[in-house]
Amino acid sequence: MTNIWITVAVITGIATVLALLLTLADAFIADYGERRIKINKEKELVVEGGSTLLSSLVSNQLFIPSACGGKGSCGYCKCKVNSGGGPVLATELSYLSESDIKNNVRLSCQVKVKEDMEIEVPEELFNVKQFKAAVEISKDVTPKIKFLRLKITDGQEIKFKAGQYIQLIAPPYPGNQEEVYRAYSLASYTGNLSFIDLVIGYVEGGLLTTYVHKHLSVGDNVAFNGPYGDFYLQDTDAEVVLVAVGTGMAPILSILYELKNKGINRKATFFFGARTIDDLFMLEEMSMFERELPNFKFIPTLSKPQPEDNWQGEVGRVTDAMQKHLKADSNQEAYLCGSAPMINSTVEMLKKKGIPEDKIYYDKFD
């Protein structure tokens, strides 16, 4: 027994010494000092070297989208690094195409600022802002989905396009020791400048969904930044085909409010997929849209209705309902939001219906 304790003590001592050496190395050997980041050949930032490019930009109020919170698992935080980024890392390869690599596109959350850099980012990111807000409404709309209304409290106004998203920030809380942020689509009307609506589902083990569902209450202060995204309602006269499952309803709600409140009289059909009747939500809103939008129809479908539901509507996958009700028309645009498998199968079906691929817009989430 004595030998075991001696062995444990020796291993613990070695681990402690190595940790100390790594800390000292990070503090002294890897001290990169001040570095300059030139952006779009115009703007220049002076930052402390050693952090990721993403965090360096965010700390200077230039918000690059990152649905995974900078963990390298979403591929959203791409930007061009024309100099100073070092070689492409293995952690980036699965998110970069051959064209990306050829054109110096990198994941900003994986690139460390070790030397002066020259980068390019989309100009619209200079309009992204950080907002402070308070929770005005928090209610369960299904057993696993919450509706949130966040009232902006810092005097700013948010301007966005119907379909875009923001990044909600969760501070450290019991069970999570670091700040995290995740992307959520805006569910509100673009004319509402003082608040935003979100629809957030609970994911077991999800850091931000746990914060929202278990720790966030009416009156609490929150922060978010945005808007982001190139998924939004196009300014045309085409028929609108809307498709979503679960929390993918959020940007579709924003699009429907846009059609209603701006008096846009385009034909629109919303195909919504859920598992059981308990997973359907915003039904009053859908009835309101059907009353106030003369060319709108809501078609929900359940994949696993229960006998006690007495469900009389469509049954199966959302694409089954589309196959049944959607009539091919050359003047159609489709807006999809949901999981990658749902998006992929829906895109293929819509193409077979004759909708050109460049008229199919989508927002995928994990």
pLDDT at 4 over 60: no
The answer on 140 and 99 residing in a single domain is no
Neighbouring-strand partners of residue 300:
272
Q: How far apart are CA 96 and CA 339, in angstroms?
A: 20
Per-residue pLDDT, averaged over 84-91, amounts to 94
Lowest mean pLDDT among 13-22, 69-78, 198-207: 13-22
The answer on 106 and 80 residing in a single domain is yes
Q: What is the pLDDT of residues 96-146, one digit of tens each?
A: 999 999 999 999 999 999 999 999 999 889 889 999 999 999 999 999 999
Q: What is the pLDDT of residues 140-186, one digit of tens each?
A: 999 999 999 999 999 999 999 999 999 999 999 998 888 888 999 99
DSSP type of residue 173: B
In a domain, 271, yes or no: yes
In a domain, 2, yes or no: no
CATH number at residue 177: 2.40.30.10
Secondary element (H or E) of residue 254: helix 249-261
The answer on 339 and 283 residing in a single domain is yes
Instruction: Look up the domain containing 83 and give its range.
Output: 34-122
**Do the bridges between strand 332-339 and strand 360-365 make them parallel or antiparallel, or are there none, so unpaired?**
parallel
Report field, pTM of the whole predicted structure over 0.95: no
Per-residue pLDDT, averaged over 326-338, amounts to 90
Q: What is the pLDDT of residues 48-65, one digit of tens each?
A: 999 999 999 999 999 998
The answer on 196 and 133 residing in a single domain is yes
Which of 207, 228, 249 terminates a domain? The answer is 228
Q: What is the pLDDT of residues 219-244, one digit of tens each?
A: 999 999 999 999 999 999 999 999 99
In a domain, 62, yes or no: yes
CATH number at residue 306: 3.40.50.80
In a domain, 224, yes or no: yes
Q: How far apart are CA 325 and CA 311, in angstroms?
A: 18
In a domain, 266, yes or no: yes
In a domain, 158, yes or no: yes
Q: How far apart are CA 166 and CA 143, in angstroms?
A: 24
pLDDT of residue 11: 56
Identify the residue with better confidence: 178 or 200. 200
The answer on 258 and 199 residing in a single domain is no
In a domain, 173, yes or no: yes
Which of 203, 228, 253 terminates a domain? The answer is 228
Per-residue pLDDT, averaged over 196-211, amounts to 95
Please, what is the average pLDDT of the chain?
90
The answer on 323 and 217 residing in a single domain is no
268: its two tokens: 């629109």
pLDDT at 323 over 90: yes
Q: How far apart are CA 41 and CA 37, in angstroms?
A: 10
Q: Contact 158/189 with Cβ under 8 angstroms?
A: no
The answer on 308 and 256 residing in a single domain is yes
